[in-house]
Structure 1
Amino acid sequence: MSEQAAAAKKAFATRLRDIRRDAGLSGKELAAILGWHPSKVSRIGTGQQNPSEEDIRAWCIACAVARQIPELIAVHREIEQMWVEWRQELRAGQKHLQGSATTLYERTELLRVYESARVPGILQTPGYARGVMASTAFLFELPTDELEAAAQARLSRQHLVTSGRNRYSFVIESGVLAHIVGGVGAMNEQYDFLIRVSRLPNVALGVIPPGRVRTIFAGEGFYCFDDQLVRTEFWSGGVRTNRPDEIAYYLRLFAILHDMAVYGDPARALIETARERLAQSDAIS
């Protein structure tokens, strides 16, 4: 579980414990009212045990705060959905995982994306996308017979960018352009597409140059879907949240990264520099 998800779980447990204390009840007294073993009250109040929705309802009623039940259950559900383990999600296959996000992209009017390690998924070209899918299959020991289908499922969203239907703001670290994914041909195809989308009126494509004095350090990538949802990814899983305070934090973070990047001709020059370095490296090898 990520630090964010773990912290949210801990904060929820603390809130339940404070509700008990505000009601003037000890752990043993609350347990007696609910007919629970005292250790269950202790484990829930310290975050060692995840309460069920029925547990939350019973806890609130016993503490005379039934009015808080809807809010607490909503928060509990949000916390449960925060952490997504890739190994579990990938059981249905990479194609299914890619297809499940399409509706979210379609209804998002402004997508803000920061990536420090790879080209954003919705901007990936066929060869690059296949390379990413192959890497995922290798890491999680998945079958490779659906790589093409998974890549096509990801590519099926790309028309949302090129059609001008929605607005997009991308910020990538310059190192993204140097990582070779899918081979030389795939990278040249990817460079061409990045240059193309950088000229679209509905797209802002920023690159943070090497050697830039950092306001903040590079970190994990994240996606802001309007001001409704944030998704960020780690090696073993991802976090998604619709908490207003978390969304506000990531929007501020994106604004800082956005201001560190260059756009237009300077961004395209960095892409062409990466292409030239790739060609020189390929010639030497």
Structure 2
Amino acid sequence: MTFEPDELVRSRADLAGTLRALRRRAGISQTRLAARCNMSQTKISNIEGAKIVPALVDVELILAALDVPPELVADTVVLARRANTEWQDVWSQRRTGLEKKQNELAGLERSSTEFRYFLLSMVTGLLATPAYVRASLAHVPGDQSRAIARKLERQTVLYDTSKSFTFLLTEQAVRWPFLPRAAMAVQIDHLASVSRLPNVRLGVIPLAGHIPSAPLNTFTVYDARIATVETQTGAMVFRGHADVSAYLRDFAELRNAALFDQECRVWLNAWADRFRS
């Protein structure tokens, strides 16, 4: 399925209008529909008013309760998938301030307990040294000191033992020469240090063996409810069960190719030594 950014915004209002029209065509009230779906009338009202985006399972319950014809079910489910997908472009983030984006990520980190990161070509902010964080925002115009400070502050979540983190880094992500050689060695040493935290599993995928899959993007899965996928010009946020499940399956396959614990640190130490030599 192809998602156009403008369509993702319109689809939420379109979904609300479609569900409202289908209910009215069926000739039943919001209260009666809510009873059939085991939902509150307030939730049905908020869905039809586009105040909340219903999960796919909620949409399927509503369509079944309204006895909607199969061809309309298919079209509405497609619309629901689009409504459960969010596009965040980098230019909008810069206009509203990168500190706001850091606060949004901190909110996701507060509300989630299990985190899965696949890092294709760069180190994520939670694992970055101050030098790496500054370099990652150096290309953005203006003073980004507050965003840098917020990004570093978010790293404290790694020490919350009620949460668990799994990071999978390709060899390219670890070794990409994003900083001068001495600073890169420090960054890789930092990865080895974080890998010893009790609630963190940090694995590396060396380019030395057979890896049957070829992921195209960095992605993160929060619990089993949200997947974010990064591109050059923004990020897609998926909340639909089918999409999140697909990334969970990809993550599990990539995890099988990764090395953890002491095996991981052997590779990290060797890569850091190359930068030091």
After TM superposition, the score normalised by the length of structure 2 is 0.74
Q: 1:208 to 1:130 in 2, by over 3 A?
A: same
1:74 matches 2:66? no
Contact 2:185 2:273 in 1 (8 A): no
Hey, what's the Cα distance between the residues in 2 that align with 1:50 and 1:265?
48
What letter matches 1:241 in structure 2? F
1:244 matches 2:244? no
Hey, what's the Cα distance between the residues in 2 that align with 1:55 and 1:235?
33
Structure showing greater radius of gyration is: 1
**Secondary structure of the corresponding residue to residue 54 of structure 2:** helix
Q: 1:57 to 1:157 in 2, by over 3 A?
A: same
Hey, what's the Cα distance between the residues in 2 that align with 1:221 and 1:53?
29
* Deviations, residues 165-214 of structure 1 (Å, cap 9, x unaligned): 41101101011121122333432331121111111121110100112201
Hey, what's the Cα distance between the residues in 1 that align with 2:4 and 2:100?
27
User: Where does 1:11-22 land on structure 2 (aligned, <5 Å)?
Assistant: none
Matched residue, 1:116: 120
Give the alignment's Cα RMSD to 1 decimal.
Answer: 2.9
Contact 1:206 1:263 in 2 (8 A): yes
Hey, what's the Cα distance between the residues in 2 that align with 1:221 and 1:100?
18
User: Where does 1:13-32 land on structure 2 (aligned, <5 Å)?
Assistant: none
1:88 alignment partner, one of 89, 92, 110: 92
Contact 1:174 1:207 in 2 (8 A): yes
**Secondary structure of the corresponding residue to residue 3 of structure 2:** helix
Matched residue, 1:131: 135
What letter matches 2:54 in structure 1? A
Q: 1:181 to 1:248 in 2, by over 3 A?
A: same
1:195 alignment partner, one of 187, 192, 210: 192
Aligned residues: 233
Matched residue, 2:3: 5
Identity of aligned pairs, percent?
22
Unaligned runs of 5+ in 2: 38-42, 56-78
1:207 matches 2:204? yes
**Secondary structure of the corresponding residue to residue 101 of structure 1:** helix
Unaligned runs of 5+ in 1: 11-47, 281-285
After TM superposition, the score normalised by the length of structure 1 is 0.72
Contact 2:164 2:199 in 1 (8 A): yes
Contact 2:133 2:148 in 1 (8 A): yes
1:161 matches 2:123? no
User: Where does 1:172-191 land on structure 2 (aligned, <5 Å)?
Assistant: 172-191=169-188
Contact 1:174 1:270 in 2 (8 A): no
Shift of 1:231: 0.7
1:235 matches 2:235? no
Contact 1:131 1:182 in 2 (8 A): yes
Q: 1:65 to 1:252 in 2, by over 3 A?
A: farther
